[in-house]
Structure 1
Amino acid sequence: MSNDAQAIDVQTVTVPHLGGSTVGHAFARPYDPALPTLVLVNSFSTSVDLYRPQFADPELTAAANLLAIELYGHGRTRSTYPHFTYWDSAIANLQVLDRLGIPEAFVLGTSQGGWVAARMALLAPDVVRGIIPLGTSMDFESARSRDLGCWDGIEFCTPSLDALAAPVGDDWVVPDEFVDAVLGAGLGEDVSPDERAFWHAAHRRNYAGDAGRHRLRTATVNLRDRDGLHARLGDVRCPVLWLQGTADSVYSVANAEEEIRMFTGSPDAELRVVQDGQHFLSASDPDVVDAAAAEFVRRRS
């Protein structure tokens, strides 16, 4: 992953979902209506800054408008209602596209972003032209997925849910141990000091005070207790390109091999295995991801 510590300039747009929401988002370059749009959906507790490598790639930014959108519980996205799910983030993302005057888009999602991408395709098949899930799973945190070599998300998340249960003061910031656990799961142990410092600072900005604690806890509830999509995947009608790393400590290649076959309604559902790729694949292997995404969008546009 790039050690460039420059954060992405985030804008906000207001959408009606969840009693009225302000959604954080960023374009890599000024929007060009002549180009297709690729929406980028970030992984757990990160932000649009996860996609700094993609924003810096001239080939990818020449192929599509890159629009990173922050999920509920992440970055600058806020809602009037205090609770939310991944379905809510999928709806809000579609409303962002509508507010920005973008009639259709491809969607790339890392980890939790992958199942938000699938939800967007299910909700708006006339808008979503194709999805690119990275390092993800379409299941809930099931015994089946653990039997296939995926992590124990219940064991990972429950201690944090307990620790984040009680109200805190205005001076609270997310503990460094939480951030290190996310980086370890997402990128392994080979994270540069500069990159680690960048994400520590980003998490402290995004998760401060009692409101930050509540957003982080609700995002963690969503991760642990989400619904699975297996019975719905046959209704995804767009092309699917799934990239899965062999070094992913969260979700396994064996799981991806089973689940890619569940996209029975897709005209083209392909799994590509990335040797030594980590869980946050867009960050660990941006060259592979960017080239695949650019080719996918060009071929489908």
Structure 2
Amino acid sequence: MSKIDQTIEIPHLGGSKIGYTFGRPYDPSLPTLVLVNSFSTSAELYRPQFADPVLGSAANLLALEPYGHGRTRAAYPHFTYWDSAIANLQVLAALGIGEAFVLGTSQGGWMAARMALLAPDVVKGLLLLGTSMDFESPRSRDLGCWDAFAANSAVIDALAEPVGDDWVVPDFFVDAVLASGLGGVPDDEREFWLAAHRANYAGDDGRHRLRVSTVNLRDRDGLHGRLDEVRCPVRWLHGTADQVYSVANAEEEIRLFTGSPDARLEVVEGGQHFLSASHPAETGAAAAGFVKHWA
């Protein structure tokens, strides 16, 4: 499958350029599955999904890069996950896609859920991977989730001051993301993500986008009081080896989708936090089945 990498202009945040990738030329006879990537990654996170012939035959695959990530840029310097949800909906409208399923990995799940809340007539189903619907609360830590304040505050402080044009994100930051998201990766995959991060998070603009993205990760609002208004079906996949959010948390939160016609959790044995990358076969099969059933 030949990917199509492009950007598109939308009006949100003073005018934005959003990076997007189609798995192949858009086919209006197929449903569309939007893919929203995890923290500091890009549309390239979904290379296994773009290479999956079964999933590619079930839906148009459209990866949308959130604010602070990939090729996406905005006129305004600050943004939240709500902004990325709005931007994604504006991209769909600009592309003439009236309905879509949305799959989100980790932070992508927060944006996917926000899209469903903002536009229930557009979002026809949610596929949530290795995520949480809470803010970074004491409740979630009691259930075995990570301590986002300890993990992110030092990064936010370290990125506070302006830097020169020659600055690039340090290797140890990328290694920490890969360790927590995938439990480590082969050398060639590490080199791929080191190069991708260095290219994207360079100079003072890159520093600031990474800092705001990290602030969002630590300080976001929770969705518990809103989840009963999600009206579409929900499939939540969560790995037993997820180092960031626990299966116990997912078991509690899937029950909060009381307005959904069908909300289910599927536990993936050995699955890592970036589940679409660690277990692409299980992710692809679940996504293809979900879309075929509900389209």
TM class, shorter-length: over 0.9
* Match of residue 290 from structure 1: 284
* Match of residue 229 from structure 2: 235
SS at 1:261's partner residue?
helix
Take 2:151 and 2:5, find their aligned partners in 1: how far apart are those partners? 30
CA contact (8 A) 1:42 1:112 kept: yes
CA contact (8 A) 2:4 2:23 kept: no
Take 1:283 and 1:198, find their aligned partners in 2: how far apart are those partners? 14
The 5-angstrom pairing of residues 1-301 of structure 1 reads: 10-189=5-184, 191-301=185-295
Displacement of 1:244 in angstroms is 0.3
Take 1:226 and 1:83, find their aligned partners in 2: how far apart are those partners? 13
* Structure 1 counterpart of 2:25, one-letter code: P
Take 1:223 and 1:139, find their aligned partners in 2: how far apart are those partners? 12
Tell me the percent identity: 75
Take 1:294 and 1:200, find their aligned partners in 2: how far apart are those partners? 31
Displacement of 1:185 in angstroms is 0.5
Take 1:55 and 1:104, find their aligned partners in 2: how far apart are those partners? 20
Displacement of 1:131 in angstroms is 0.4
Take 2:5 and 2:235, find their aligned partners in 1: how far apart are those partners? 28
SS at 1:242's partner residue?
strand
* Match of residue 3 from structure 1: none
Take 1:49 and 1:8, find their aligned partners in 2: how far apart are those partners? 10
CA contact (8 A) 2:38 2:107 kept: yes
SS at 1:227's partner residue?
coil
Q: Where in structure 1 do 4 or more consecutive aligned residues deviate above 4 Å?
A: none
CA contact (8 A) 2:66 2:72 kept: yes
* Structure 1 counterpart of 2:266, one-letter code: R
* Structure 2 counterpart of 1:216, one-letter code: L
Take 1:28 and 1:156, find their aligned partners in 2: how far apart are those partners? 34
- Runs (5+) with no aligned partner, structure 1: 1-6
Displacement of 1:10 in angstroms is 2.5
* Structure 1 counterpart of 2:202, one-letter code: A
Aligned CA RMSD, in angstroms, stands at 0.9
CA contact (8 A) 2:85 2:114 kept: yes
* Structure 2 counterpart of 1:294, one-letter code: A
Take 1:140 and 1:181, find their aligned partners in 2: how far apart are those partners? 21
Take 1:9 and 1:161, find their aligned partners in 2: how far apart are those partners? 34
CA contact (8 A) 2:3 2:22 kept: no
Take 1:217 and 1:89, find their aligned partners in 2: how far apart are those partners? 16
Take 1:157 and 1:210, find their aligned partners in 2: how far apart are those partners? 19
Take 1:155 and 1:76, find their aligned partners in 2: how far apart are those partners? 29
Take 1:41 and 1:8, find their aligned partners in 2: how far apart are those partners? 16
Displacement of 1:268 in angstroms is 0.2
Aligned residues: 294
* Structure 1 counterpart of 2:68, one-letter code: G
Take 1:239 and 1:136, find their aligned partners in 2: how far apart are those partners? 17
Take 1:185 and 1:13, find their aligned partners in 2: how far apart are those partners? 32
Take 2:200 and 2:124, find their aligned partners in 1: how far apart are those partners? 31
* Structure 2 counterpart of 1:298, one-letter code: K
Query: TM-score w.r.t. structure 1 length?
Result: 0.97
Displacement of 1:8 in angstroms is 5.8
SS at 1:10's partner residue?
strand
Superposed CA offset, 1:146-182 (max 9, x none): 0000000111111110110000000000000000000
